[in-house]
Amino acid sequence: MNRYPHWLFVAALLARTGATHGQNLVPNGGFEEFTTNCAFGIGYNSLEDWGYLTCGVSPGLFHACNNSVGNGGGVPQNALGYQQAHGGDAFISTWTLRMNSQGGFPDGNPQKYANVDLTEPLVANQHYCLRLWMNMADSTCYETGAFHAYVWYGTPSICNNQDTAWDTNATVTWDISGVDTSAWTLLEGEFDANGGETSLTLGAFQFEEEIDSVFLADHSALLGGLLAIYFIDDVELWACQVGVGEGLEAPPMSLFPNPATDVVTITVPGPFDRGSLEVIALDGRTVASRAVVGPHVQLDVSDLPAGEYVVGWRTNARTLVSRLTVIR
């Protein structure tokens, strides 16, 4: 077990996390906030902050508030199957393939792109971390191999391989061949910003024969076509640092939501899933500590005053760290 003097441990954590680490630049990344009255049911167009490319098709929204409406958009039971949200009460859906029923080949690109304006422009040459959680819909007809993220200077306006938002220019490309219907899969990526980027677009940017797909089952009667459908939840983008501090590891630890008001879900990779958790205020006080077993921990911060905190997850080999913001 790493044993730093307490003040040295705090100083190392603060140096490791940096001033901006943990500040999620994606507003409403958990898709919980919406603009209309839930009593009448809500869809993707009701989401705060999120939109989609005007040349494309709107993603779907599934929210627990739709359960009593019976419109197929509920959580966990919905028109596409059964799935709990990764965090909170909501997630969105997207297509990664739409098959042409007559020709038996992918019909262009899927054209379901979720887009959001970031809370602040990206800083030139700053290293950024991007992560989201993905799950395959029960009623998907195909599984596919790639998913993309694109940061840009506003909302891309042209689809079907006529714009820079495409697979060869994607900011982050994920291999999603291991994503299944049983559990949420964490997708992570990193990149250096050119500077001034203001938006994030999520989608499958491949085109026709570029799409790597595997047929699973024909649910076209339910879906209105042969589609590959995936769910997305808890999108985070923040300025990250690497390589600072002896015995400290670049943090693959996920805190969501962050900023937080009541409960934070903390997730670490499997090799680090046994150790001790410590929450430290910036003045060096330990405000919470506990032993942890397993990759997911629910941390109640409802009694903590608003402010900045450092979360340290200590294992036998090293310490994972991240900065947490509590708001009231």
169-183 pLDDT per residue, tens:
799 999 999 999 998
Q: What is the pLDDT of residue 95?
A: 92
pLDDT at 271: 62
Point out the residues of the chain with pLDDT beneath 50. Answer: 1-9, 11-21, 242-251
**Pairwise CA distance, residues 137 & 180, whole Å:** 8
* 78: Cβ contacts below 8 Å, ≥ 6 apart: 62, 66, 72
Spans of all domains in the chain: 6-21+248-326, 38-239
* Residue 105: per-residue pLDDT: 54
Q: Judge: domain 6-21+248-326, CATH 2.60.40.3080.
A: yes
Residue 3 is predicted with a pLDDT of: 38
pLDDT value at residue 163: 66
Tokens of 258: 């962050």
pLDDT tens per residue across span 288-306? 888 888 778 888 999 999 8
pLDDT at position 270, please? 64
The pLDDT score that the predictor gives to residue 23 is 82
The CA distances from residue 250 to 15, 218, 281, in Å, are 12, 43, 20
The tens digit of pLDDT for each residue in 202-254 reads 999 887 778 888 999 999 899 888 899 999 999 999 988 543 333 344 446 78
Secondary structure (H, E, C), the chain? CCCCCHHHHHHHHHHHHCCCCCCCCCCCCCCCCECCCHHHCCCHHHECCEEECCCCECCEEEEHHHCCCCCCCCCCEECCEECCCCCCCEEEEEEEEEEECCCCEECCCCCECEEEECCCCCCCCCEEEEEEEEEECCCCCEEECEEEEEEECCCCCCCCCCCCCCHHHCCEEEECCCCCCCCCEEEEEEEECCCCCCEEEEECCCCHHHCCEEECCCCHHHHCCEEEEEEEEEEEEEECCCCCCCCEECCCCEEECCCECCEEEEECCHHHCEEEEEEEECCCCEEEEEEEECCEEEEECCCCCCEEEEEEEECCCCEEEEEEEECC
Q: The domain 38-239 belongs to what CATH superfamily?
A: Galactose-binding domain-like (2.60.120.260)
Which letter, b or e, does each residue of 189-202 get, where b requires 16 or more Cβ atoms within 10 Å of its Cβ? Answer: bebebeeebbbbbb
pLDDT for residue 240: 81
